[in-house]
Amino acid sequence: MGKVLVIGCGGVAQVAIQKCAQNDAVFDEICIASRTVSKCDDLKKKIEAEGKSRSKITTAKVNADSVDELIALIKSVKPDVVLNLALPYQDLTIMDACLACGVHYVDSANYEPEDTEDPKWRAIYEKRCKELGFTAYFDYSWQWAYQKKYKNAGITAILGTGFDPGVTSVFTAYALKHYFDQIDTIDILDCNGGDHGYPFATNFNPEINLREVSANGSYWENGHWVETKPMEIKREYNFEQVGMKDMYLLHHEEIESLAKNVPGVKRIRFFMTFGQSYLTHMKCLENVGMLRTDPVMFEGREIVPIQFLKALLPDPASLGPRTVGKTNIGCIYTGTKDGKKRNIKIYNVCDHQECYKEVGSQAISYTTGVPAMIGTMMVMTGQWKGAGVFNVEEFDPDPYMEALNKWGLPWVVDENPVLVD
Ligand code: NDP
């Protein structure tokens, strides 16, 4: 059917690319590109050696910080869709290149600048903190600003098709379509019950993960943001197939788009589970300055502490063989249908070892990579279409929900869930 150009070949991309190769009726050709082309070549060899896919796979070298390099690559590969699975830092350059070439764009995380000390960015950020009331470094304003340009160019940008954001927002559209006339509250619960046996490691890119977790929390209530100190709000929840876990309220990007796209919603919160060991390590690293994102001088050269830390920590892609246990990620909705109060929970349970057997990755990469493939498929097949910039909850959820069941992330609707106080 068509050709996808995937930028990035890290933990998430490796799953998404293997799922595209499994889905060879849709993805005739896959080009994998990043700065380290040897990684892309290794994945190509792995898929070809398995001999199960009819997709043609090619690789290329690109620095996605350069719009010119991206344009040259897109012009030579001629993809139908570009799937951005590099880092949030590259979202805008890749969106610019897609716009210049008239090609659809898909990603899994919203824009965040690499250098949060950049004065030009900082001025806009500080104004936003005051106006909107949350201090996260990432927000949708930068990418939503492309709406008119993408509309005029007649191309589609789909923002945030991982699990959260991504599946959690599609669950919300599905709940609204089939279960509610009005959704009042949304609690997104992200539980990783997996154990990798290390005292400390992150399940996806450490820099992005630690920036997110060490930041202030926030939630949406009655039309505005309420901000909390990092990890200030803690709850316990008994997750199906995982058990009782501590979870903490975080700021998370889909709260921003759901607040805009779910009419009349009164409260949206996001909770993620963390063990005590993870939190103690993180606090210590933060206290000694290892989470700093600005350059410091060390022995005559500049280093960014969080990037140095990344070099010391286990590569998330290497956790696959050692991680056991399950993830349980989903959403609890309260609201009304036909004048009656109703509560439901929609969730997926994913087993780390099953994922490893199938694609050689742990469940965090799997639960992000599969929806990245599905979102790209929605655009490639025309099941989701429209000119402009969209979040996933703005489309018909049904074909995406069907694809989740088919491609490895089956979901459950619980019509009598335990609520979070
Ligand atoms: P990794 O760090 O494992 O991989 C990042 C990839 O991007 C690498 O292959 C790297 O390759 C490539 N890359 C980085 N910089 C550039 C550049 N300048 N030019 C070209 N390629 C580049 O990250 P993950 O796979 O863990 O995460 C990928 C994305 O998925 C992130 O944006 C993350 O935020 C998002 N994510 C989303 C989730 C969701 O549920 N929505 C959950 C988890 C992650 P190289 O260095 O060789 O260039």
Question: Mind listing the pLDDT tens digit for each residue in 250-273?
Answer: 999 999 999 999 999 999 999 999
In which residue are the tokens 């994913």 written?
A: 350
Residue 111's alpha-carbon distances to 89, 139, 266, in angstroms, are 6, 7, 26
What letter does residue 222 receive in the DSSP assignment?
A: T
Answer yes or no: is pLDDT of 293 > 90: no
Mutating to test ligand 1, I would choose from 84, 108, 392 the residue with most ligand atoms within 8 A of its C-beta, which is 108
For residue 256 the two structure tokens come to: 């921003």
Distance 183 CA to ligand 1 centre (A): 33
| Smallest CA separation from ligand 1 atom 32, residue | 87
195-198, long-range: CB within 8 Å, 24+ apart, which pairs?
195/323, 195/324, 195/325, 196/314, 196/319, 196/322, 196/323, 196/362, 197/322, 198/314, 198/319, 198/322
In which residue are the tokens 């998330």 written?
A: 316
pLDDT tier at 186, thresholds 50, 70, 90: very high
User: How confident is the model at residue 372, as a pLDDT?
Assistant: 98
Distance 113 CA to ligand 1 centre (A): 14
What whole-number percentage of the chain has pLDDT above 90? Answer: 92
Q: Please report the atom of ligand 1 found closest to the CA of residue 164.
A: 40
Tell whether omega for the bond before 113 is within 30 degrees of 0, i.e. cis: no
Q: Which residues, in sequence order, are CB contacts of 46 under 8 Å at separation 6+? A: 360
Answer yes or no: is pLDDT of 207 > 90: no
Condensed to tens digits (0 to 9), the pLDDT of residues 345-383 reads 999 999 999 999 999 999 999 999 999 999 999 999 999
In which residue are the tokens 């993408």 written?
A: 150
Mutating to test ligand 1, I would choose from 368, 391, 409 the residue with most ligand atoms within 8 A of its C-beta, which is 368
Q: Give backbone dihedrals phi and psi of 369, rounded to 5 degrees, phi first.
A: -70, -35
Condensed to tens digits (0 to 9), the pLDDT of residues 225-253 reads 999 999 999 999 999 999 999 999 999 99
Distance 89 CA to ligand 1 centre (A): 9
**Which amino acids bring their CB within 6 angstroms of ligand 1?**
7-13, 34-36, 39, 62-65, 85-88, 90, 108-109, 160, 162-166, 204-205, 208, 316-317, 368
> CA-to-CA distance for 252 and 270, rounded, in angstroms?
6
Using CB atoms within 10 Å of the CB of residue 288, give its burial: 0 to 12 exposed, 13 to 18 middle, 19+ buried.
exposed
Distance 87 CA to ligand 1 centre (A): 4
Using CB atoms within 10 Å of the CB of residue 24, give its burial: 0 to 12 exposed, 13 to 18 middle, 19+ buried.
middle
Instruction: Please give the biggest Cα pair distance in the chain.
Output: 68
Mutating to test ligand 1, I would choose from 6, 9, 12, 209 the residue with most ligand atoms within 8 A of its C-beta, which is 12
pTM: 0.95
